[in-house]
Amino acid sequence: MNEHILAAVRQYLAVHPQERDALAPLLDLAAGTDPAASRHTVPGHVTCGAIAVGQDRRVLQVRHRGLDRWLLPGGHVEADDHTLRDAAVRELTEETGIPAAAVTILSDTPIDIDAHEIPANPDEDEPAHTHYDFRFLLEMENWYSGRPVDLQLEEVTAHRWVPVSELAGRLGGRVTAALHAG
């Protein structure tokens, strides 16, 4: 998986070369021998997120139980995931019940790679660490914000659909630009 991650980061940096310095630790991680996608690799590891856009151009967010924050559906890469994109779709399905068949992946290259700190979790014996979250833009042509989702309540407590315009920072700009280009 490290080679796949390294290739994905290089593809991403070909589009966003200004992020090379910020993602240097991720490049080092993926080029190393430790499994970059293992949740046990510290000080950081790869996760995947789904930017799921419904037909009404709203983005699905879930309330993460452990962090008590609104986030995109996503999580850790599993051994059965062949690609990072597969991990993002699997996490969307697991957390929300939205079937993979309802999703169109708009690009094999992540639209964003976000590095963010995760606080220590003594209950799980996890130190503070960094998640390098590969975010993939997914379109759901036959899904809209009024349609129910089947939440995985062990991990998430609620969901909401927000207009793309409410996505903060560079992510909002990138999603808006990609949807207008498509």
Residue 172 CA: distances (Å) to CA of 8, 12, 51, 72, 137: 21, 17, 10, 12, 11
Residues 59-65, mean pLDDT to the nearest whole number: 95
Instruction: Look over the chain and give the mean of its residue pLDDT values, rounded to a whole number.
Output: 94
Phi, psi for residue 25 in degrees, rounded to 5? -60, -35
The domain limits of the chain are: 2-181
CATH of domain 2-181: 3.90.79.10
161 contact partners, CB below 8 Å, separation of at least 6 = 54, 56, 58, 59, 60, 61, 145
pTM: 0.94
What confidence tens digit (pLDDT) does each residue in 98-127 have? 999 999 999 999 999 999 999 998 988 999
Contact 35, 78 (CB under 8 A): no
What confidence tens digit (pLDDT) does each residue in 140-165 have? 978 777 787 899 999 999 999 999 99
